[in-house]
């Protein structure tokens, strides 16, 4: 691909038109063209190249496709592209064939032959690779007919799964860099840009939920020798991966937003602080920056204007606390990643003591489209105080796991039962956990809560970066709290007392209770300590770390009490409180369980008497349970 | 009338009105909430806060309720703004404070009764003030052990509360960068890289971290028992020398006001402790001036390439130069410190004069300094095979020893120093404050170069507590540029400017500790009860006391000290003579910085001379 310097908006729109014509078979709106393309039998095969699908051998599928296409001399009419995450990660690797809009799931490298022979050459769909709707019990050919995508509204993820993230011209074809071009040509006053962002009602998507427009306004109001634009791509919540997906699927949207932010606050240098554990995102960002530099969209005199801006990457080592903006700034400067008290805020004293604007990836990804379509358009979506859409990472005991984007105000019920396809194995829903280690658990009676920043914090949880984990009757809420506390305790930077020592003490109390050694008064100490840690910690990590406990104490206190008083774990999770037993009636004396037991705790005579587990030897690894052919082993 | 209005406007500009606990107060702006509250007699407890040095808000003991803020705010880092409304003692605030201190205690090796900081510990006070009666949390405690493989400073990691005051003073004031946080969460420990001992990193042993430490996590290495052992040995002739600044600080150990002059009581106490002779290091300070002044004159007149001359009487500063500025070592005056001179002379001149076997003489230094413990252990510091100084006790250790012996210090009668180290000039006294050495040297250099006495012996520019000062001195027809630095960070600034050619100078006095010896790492630690003094501000009171004594003394110039003349007549001959060179001058080594430290012989404790 040869990239030339783009010197004006006219040149930009020429590239847009040229490229759009090349990729328009991917869009169903242009029906006429589509039929034409079909007659010519041209195909675009988009292979998901997000981390999820790459891990399930999506790369091999793509390479095999390319190889076979060359071999069969189909290059002229079939083209293979990388694309960003579709979101339905559970069913990866995913490929999408345009113009038929066929959505193939769980594609293995050996399926390539089948796809090429049947779909491309014969024009027949490969049924076994199609998505089968569990509700209708039939194959669904088209992506838009799948429940999972039905209730979604993709704004931040608009280009993921649509364009090739490694080609800047495809981004330009989707009106990319148009917002920037307009601003630079019209010399839009920064105040107007800020007003537009303010009007959109966009709030920080990293978890804080602070008004983005106001943040930009503050950053503009402080003068400095140099000023910086910083992008927080240090996504640390366990289970959340929307920032990664945006960077992998649409890196230019973030770059464009950062250039605009630079123009607005009068900064000429930006940094993306991205974790080194995201190698694909880092690679795509590097490619994107390189291409933007080649086309003059980064560097001096962007699009022939007198505005200059450049961007560099800062790799983080993956400390959760570095998602906190002051800690992130420390880390980006090469220092130990630790927060400092605010005020002064980074908008005044940030990178190298200079005014710094810091926004999250998802926030930035929304900016170009807001400026293109107007703040009013964005503000028309969502609830009164939370506008637009939010990306959630859906995980846990739910049928459809993956990445979804829904308008603010969508109810949890819609997300779980319509998009998510309900609870796995038809088990009973117990709780939804939002906000990762900083959030809380939401019980069944609050399932109709319309999700936005306020409603979530009102019920003791928080939006966070958008992790959404669904738990069913087999999850122990005490164990869940313990897991999150362990995480927070492990990730505490060690600077302030309540967080570094407090989280450890909380964890110790939880561990005591989960072992059956708790006292009722522990609950009181626990609750008090949680409130104090929340109230007096230095940064967001400590201030939110007790949330999982406080919310489970509020909604699931009976489970805590069962652990303390009855010394049982109702969900059968806490190892120290459960016994693994073999039912004498069911046992067929096959002895398989005895063979898998790692500590030889199971004895019995084959084909004679029922087998028996010696409780003093058993380590409760439960390895025997799934091995039993007659389900005779159970937890008690 | 007009004047008054502008005055009022000015007043308005500089103050803001804030509301604390329901009452309005006018306070200076640019203050933190904690400092502002102090000005109106509201004491907010704190542990990590050290005025102007460590303002990081980590202990969370100083939290207050700020109206409009969701969480409690650390008052030590919260700026006052007009109309601010705070509550400093609601239940919520007190509970959070208590929880913070309780959490610290739950991770603290609570050995108060046998702790070196018992009754002078900020954590202990905080716990008492907050009325903590039980610690409901039991759990894992970190055990990072105890490090003391050096002669001066011991680190008990298990008493560290992670306040980072040591690190702040070491990085910001001394610029030695010894400490940094290691590990994360509960495992965080403030320590030298890889938790090495202080002897293995570029630590200058100044002991400022000891002064900064709110608990006993950092303390001087105690040598009281060693000293008691030699005192009990009838074979030994134990002499003690006291540094100039001790005389104005020892009283603080017994509740006397800052700046009390207690030389007489101290001498009596030392004699009652069993020392055979009590000597004044001030006298050898005069001797140092003669030697260093002669060196300055020689360099000005004959070896201008070896200018600037850098003073060498501060062992912390000497070690700093050895670590960080080895290229300046030839500029360092070769003159030993007064303390080592006294040691050298007791084992030589004094031994001969009074016919005592030098092997039986034990010289104990009472110093305001932890680095002196290190200096005494340096291999260069010996004369004819005998250690110049055998043991060094800090002011604090002497205070403890006096208490242990049950002496009613405040009511002791005044004693007198013993011959022949008894007379000293005012110039020798002011060694104990920053600028003092330089001032004393200038008084004498003036005489040496011009032949005349300096008409006004008070050289004002050298005083006061500003960290780095430049000045010029007219010595006859020669004008020399002088620099006074205290806090090695300031010396670094001066030397960097010299290297870059930005500022040239001929003579620099450096005291490693801010304020000079009166602020030394071995001085009484204030602040246990009296939080207001957790700053460096008390140091000028001590320094003023020294200058006042100088002003009142009859002899104010070192070269007028009759004892100094006597030593030259009887023993040394003349300044910079061969004998003087042998006993009163020393050499330096390049040490490098971690991890490129030059190999050094590990410390093996004080050598027993018998």
CA of B169, closest CA in chain A: separation in Å? 17
How many C-beta atoms surround the C-beta of residue B69 within 10 A?
Answer: 11
Mean pLDDT computed over A440-456: 91
Mean pLDDT of B320-329: 93
pLDDT: which is higher, A307 or B137: A307
What is the share, in percent, of chain A residues with pLDDT greater than 70?
98
Residue A13 above 80 pLDDT?
Answer: yes
Select from A343, A496, A525 the Cβ nearest to the Cβ of B60: A496
User: pLDDT value at position B535?
Assistant: 56
Return the SS3 of B481: strand
Are A498 and B99 in contact (CB < 8 Å)? Answer: yes
Cα separation, B443 vs B198, whole angstroms: 38
| Nearest CA distance, A184 vs chain B (angstrom) | 39
Contact B71 A536 (CB under 8 A): yes
B139 touches A at CB < 8 Å = yes
Residues B400-423: what's their mean pLDDT?
Answer: 93
Q: Average pLDDT for residues A319-324, to the nearest whole number?
A: 91
| Candidates 3.20.20.300, 3.40.50.11540, 3.30.300.20, 3.40.50.720; CATH matching A168-379 | 3.40.50.11540
Is B107–A319 a contact, with Cβ atoms under 8 angstroms apart?
no
Please give the positions of B annotated as active site: 292, 295, 313, 333, 372, 375, 380, 517
| pLDDT greater than 80 at residue A2 | no
Query: Hey, are the CB atoms on B71 and A537 less than 8 Å from each other?
Result: yes
pLDDT at B610: 34
Q: Residue B207: left (phi > 0), alpha (psi -120 to 50), or beta?
A: left
Overall fold of domain A42-143: Glutaredoxin (3.40.30)
pLDDT at position B463 over 80: no
Question: Does position A122 have pLDDT exceeding 90, yes or no?
Answer: no
> Does domain A579-635 correspond to CATH entry 3.30.9.100?
no
- What CATH number belongs to A477-566? 1.20.1440.230
DSSP state of A175: T
B103 contacts in chain A (CB < 8 Å): 497-498, 501-502, 505
pLDDT computed for residue B528 by the predictor: 56
Predicted pLDDT of residue B12: 56
Q: Domains along chain B? A: 2-89 (3.10.20.740), 110-220 (3.30.70.20), 224-584 (3.40.50.1780)
Torsion of CA B172, B174, B178, B183, to 10 degrees: -20
Under 8 Å CB pairs connecting chains A and B tally to 112
Rounded to an integer, the average pLDDT of A118-129 is 86
A308, two tokens = 């200059």
Nearest by CB to A341, from B57, B181, B187: name it.
B57
| A416, A440 contact by CB (below 8 A) | no
Proportion of chain B above pLDDT 70, given as a percent? 91
Tell how strand B468-475 and strand B237-242 pair up. unpaired
Find, in chain B, the residue whose alpha carbon is nearest to that of A492: B185
Q: What residues in B contact A491, CB-CB < 8 Å?
A: 184-185
Say if the Cβ atoms of B72 and A528 lie within 8 Å. Answer: no
The structural domains of chain A, with segments of one domain joined by +, span 42-143, 168-379, 389-472, 477-566, 579-635
Closest alpha carbon within chain A to B47: A497
Whether residue B420 is preceded by a cis peptide bond, meaning omega within 30 degrees of 0, is yes
Q: For residue B534, what pLDDT band results from cuts at 50, 70 and 90?
A: low
pLDDT, tens digit (0-9, with 9 covering 90-100), for B238-274 = 999 999 999 999 998 998 888 889 999 999 999 999 9
Cβ <8 Å between A500 and B72: no
Question: What is the rounded average pLDDT for all residues in chain B?
Answer: 87
State whether A496 and B58 contact (CB < 8 Å): yes
Pick among B57, B60, B182 to test the A interface (most A CBs inside 10 A): B60
The per-residue pLDDT for B30 is 86
Mean pLDDT on A408-412 = 93
The better pLDDT of the pair B48, B2 is held by B48
Chain B residue with minimal CA distance to A501?
Answer: B186
Cβ separation of B60 and A343 shorter than 8 Å? no
**Residue B608 in this model has a pLDDT that exceeds 50:** no
Cα separation, B428 vs B408, whole angstroms:
29
Q: Is the ipTM beyond the 0.95 threshold? A: no
Question: Quick check: B538 pLDDT over 80?
Answer: no
- Chain B residues within 8 A of A208 when measuring between CB atoms: none
Contacts of A536 in chain B (CB under 8 A): 60, 63, 71-72, 96, 99-100
pLDDT tens, B3-49? 445 455 545 568 899 999 999 999 998 899 999 998 898 989 999 98
Which CATH code for domain A389-472?
A: 3.10.20.600
CA-to-CA distance for B196 and A504, rounded, in angstroms?
Answer: 26
CB A47 within 8 A of CB A37: no
C-alpha–C-alpha distance, residues B283 and B249, integer Å: 19
Would the CB atoms of B74 and A529 count as touching at under 8 Å? no
Measured between beta carbons, which residues in chain B are less than 8 angstroms from residue A505? 103, 106, 137, 139
Interchain contact B59–A (C-beta under 8 A): yes
Q: What pLDDT score does A190 carry?
A: 95
pLDDT for B464: 55
- Confidence at residue A425, expressed as pLDDT on a 0 to 100 scale: 86
pLDDT of the residue at A30: 58
Q: Test B106 with A505 for CB contact under 8 angstroms.
A: yes
B268: left (phi over 0), alpha (psi -120 to 50) or beta: alpha
In B37-56, the residues whose Cβ lies within 8 Å of chain A are: 56
Q: Is the pLDDT of residue B2 over 60?
A: no
- For residue B168, give how far its alpha carbon lies from the nearest alpha carbon of chain A (Å): 14
Query: Nearest to residue B417, comparing CAs of B240, B237, B238?
Result: B240
pLDDT band at B609 (very low <50, low <70, confident <90, very high): very low
Give me the sign of the Cα torsion angle A591, A593, A596, A602: negative
Asked if the model's pLDDT at residue A1 lies above 70, the reply is no
Work out the number of other CB atoms within 10 angstroms of the CB of residue A609. 12
C-alpha dist (Å) from residue A220 to A306, A330, B474: 19, 21, 54
Q: Considering CB atoms only, which of A340, A343, A532 is closest to B56?
A: A340
């Amino acid at each position: 691909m040869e990239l030339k310097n783009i010197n004006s908006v006219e040149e930009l729109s020429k590239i847009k038109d040229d490229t759009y014509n090349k990729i328009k078979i991917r869009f169903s709106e242009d029906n006429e063209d589509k039929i034409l393309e079909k007659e010519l039998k041209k195909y675009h095969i988009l292979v998901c190249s997000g981390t999820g699908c790459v891990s399930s051998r999506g790369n091999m599928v793509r390479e095999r496709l390319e190889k076979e296409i060359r071999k069969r001399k189909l290059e002229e009419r079939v083209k293979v592209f990388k694309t960003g995450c579709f979101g339905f990660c559970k069913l990866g690797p995913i490929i999408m064939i345009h113009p038929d809009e066929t959505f193939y799931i769980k594609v293995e490298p050996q399926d390539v032959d089948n796809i090429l022979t049947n779909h491309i050459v014969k024009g027949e769909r490969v049924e076994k690779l199609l998505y089968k709707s569990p509700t209708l019990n039939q194959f669904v050919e088209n992506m838009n007919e799948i429940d999972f995508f039905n209730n979604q509204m993709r704004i931040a993820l608009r280009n993921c799964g649509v364009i090739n993230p490694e080609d800047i011209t495809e981004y330009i074809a989707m009106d990319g860099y148009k917002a920037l071009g307009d601003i630079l040509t019209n010399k839009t006053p920064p105040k107007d840009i800020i007003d537009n962002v303010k009007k959109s009602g966009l709030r920080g998507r990293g978890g804080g939920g602070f008004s983005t427009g106001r943040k930009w306004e503050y950053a503009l109001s402080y003068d400095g020798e140099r000023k910086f634009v910083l992008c927080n791509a240090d996504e640390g919540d366990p289970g959340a991966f929307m920032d990664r997906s945006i960077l992998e699927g649409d890196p230019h949207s973030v770059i464009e937003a950062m250039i605009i932010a630079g123009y607005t606050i009068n900064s000429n240098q930006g940094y993306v602080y991205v974790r080194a554990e995201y190698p694909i995102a880092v690679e795509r960002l590097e490619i994107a920056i390189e291409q933007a530099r080649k086309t003059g969209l980064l560097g001096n005199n962007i699009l022939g204007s007198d505005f200059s801006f450049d961007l560099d990457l800062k790799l983080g080592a993956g400390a959760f606390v570095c998602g906190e903006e002051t800690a992130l700034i420390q880390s980006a400067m090469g220092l130990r990643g630790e927060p400092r008290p605010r005020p002064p805020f980074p908008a005044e004293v940030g990178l190298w003591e200079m005014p710094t604007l810091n926004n999250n990836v998802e926030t930035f990804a929304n900016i170009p489209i807001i400026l293109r379509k107007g703040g009013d358009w964005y503000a028309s979506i969502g609830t009164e105080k939370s506008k637009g859409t939010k990306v959630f990472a859906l995980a846990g005991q739910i049928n459809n796991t993956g990445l979804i984007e829904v308008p603010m105000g969508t109810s949890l019920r819609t997300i779980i039962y319509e998009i998510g396809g309900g609870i796995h194995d038809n088990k009973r829903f117990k709780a939804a956990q939002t906000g990762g280690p900083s959030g809380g658990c939401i019980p069944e009676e609050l399932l109709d809560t319309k999700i936005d920043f306020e409603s979530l914090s009102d019920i003791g949880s928080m939006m966070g970066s958008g992790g959404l984990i669904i738990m069913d009757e087999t999850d122990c809420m005490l164990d869940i709290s313990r897991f999150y506390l362990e995480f927070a305790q492990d990730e505490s930077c060690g600077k302030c007392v309540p967080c570094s020592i407090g989280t450890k003490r909380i964890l110790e109390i939880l561990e005591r209770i989960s072992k059956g050694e708790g006292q009722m008064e522990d609950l009181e100490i626990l609750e008090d300590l949680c409130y104090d840690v929340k109230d007096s910690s230095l940064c967001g990590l400590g201030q939110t770390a007790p949330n999982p406990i406080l919310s489970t104490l509020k909604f699931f206190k009976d489970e805590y009490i069962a652990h303390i008083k009855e010394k049982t774990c109702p969900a059968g999770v806490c190892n120290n409180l459960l016994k693994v037993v073999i039912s004498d009636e069911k046992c067929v004396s096959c002895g398989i369980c005895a063979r898998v037991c790692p500590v030889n705790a199971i004895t019995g005579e084959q084909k004679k008497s029922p087998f028996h587990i010696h409780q003093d030897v058993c380590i409760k690894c439960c390895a025997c349970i799934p091995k039993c052919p007659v389900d005779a082993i159970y937890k008690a | 009338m007009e004047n008054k209005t502008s005055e009022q406007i000015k007043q308005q500009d500089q103050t803001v009105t804030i509301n604390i606990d329901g009452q309005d107060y006018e306070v200076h702006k640019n203050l933190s909430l904690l400092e502002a509250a102090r000005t109106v007699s509201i004491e907010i407890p704190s542990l990590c806060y050290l005025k102007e040095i460590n303002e990081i808000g980590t202990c969370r003991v100083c939290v207050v309720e700020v109206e409009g803020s969701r969480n409690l705010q650390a008052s030590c880092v919260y700026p006052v703004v007009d109309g601010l409304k705070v509550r400093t003692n609601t239940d919520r605030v007190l509970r959070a404070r208590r929880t913070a201190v309780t959490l610290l205690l739950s991770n603290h090796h609570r050995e108060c009764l046998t702790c070196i900081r018992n009754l002078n510990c900020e954590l202990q006070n905080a716990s008492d003030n907050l009325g903590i009666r039980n610690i409901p949390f039991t759990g894992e405690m970190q055990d990072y052990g105890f490090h003391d493989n050096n002669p001066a400073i011991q680190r008990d990691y298990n008493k560290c509360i992670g306040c980072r005051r040591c690190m702040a003073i070491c990085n910001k004031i001394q610029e030695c960068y010894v400490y940094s946080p290691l590990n994360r969460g509960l495992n965080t420990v403030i320590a030298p890289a890889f938790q090495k001992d202080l002897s293995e990193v570029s630590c200058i042993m100044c002991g400022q971290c000891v002064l900064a430490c709110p608990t006993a996590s950092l303390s001087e290495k105690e040598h009281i028992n060693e000293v008691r052992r030699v005192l009990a040995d009838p074979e030994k002739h134990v002499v003690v020398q006291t540094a100039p600044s001790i005389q104005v600080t020892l009283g603080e150990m017994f509740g006397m006001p800052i700046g009390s002059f207690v030389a007489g009581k101290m001498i009596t106490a030392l004699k009652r402790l069993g020392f055979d002779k009590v000597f004044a290091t001030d006298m050898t300070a005069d001797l140092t001036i003669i030697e260093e002044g002669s060196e300055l004159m020689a360099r000005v007149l004959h070896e201008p390439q070896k200018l600037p001359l850098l003073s060498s009487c501060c062992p912390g500063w000497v070690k700093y130069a050895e670590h960080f500025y080895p290229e300046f070592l030839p500029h360092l005056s070769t003159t030993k410190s007064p303390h080592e001179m006294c040691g050298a002379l007791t084992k030589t001149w004094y031994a001969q004069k009074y016919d005592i076997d030098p092997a039986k003489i034990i010289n104990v230094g009472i110093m305001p300094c932890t680095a002196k413990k290190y200096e005494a252990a340096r291999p260069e510091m010996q004369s004819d095979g005998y250690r110049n100084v055998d043991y060094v006790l800090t002011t604090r250790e002497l205070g403890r020893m006096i208490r242990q012996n049950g002496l009613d210090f405040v009511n002791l009668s005044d004693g007198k120093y013993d011959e022949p180290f008894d007379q000293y000039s005012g110039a020798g006294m002011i060694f104990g404050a920053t600028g003092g050495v330089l001032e004393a040297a200038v008084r004498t250099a003036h005489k040496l170069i011009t032949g005349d006495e300096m008409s006004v012996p008070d050289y004002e520019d050298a005083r006061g507590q500003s960290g780095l000062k430049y000045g010029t001195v007219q010595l006859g027809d020669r004008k020399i540029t002088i620099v006074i630095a205290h806090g090695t960070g300031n010396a670094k600034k001066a030397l960097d400017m010299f290297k870059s050619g930005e500022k040239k100078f001929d003579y620099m006095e450096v005291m490693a500790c801010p304020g000079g010896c009166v602020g030394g790492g071995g001085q009484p630690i204030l602040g246990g009860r009296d939080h207001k003094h957790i700053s460096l501000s008390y140091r000028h009171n001590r320094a003023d006391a020294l200058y006042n004594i100088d002003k009142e003394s009859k002899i104010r110039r070192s070269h007028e000290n009759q004892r100094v003349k006597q030593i030259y007549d009887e023993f040394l001959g003349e300044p910079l003579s061969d004998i003087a060179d042998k006993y009163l001058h020393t050499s330096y080594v390049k040490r490098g910085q971690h991890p490129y430290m030059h190999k050094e012989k590990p410390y093996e404790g004080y050598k027993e001379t018998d």
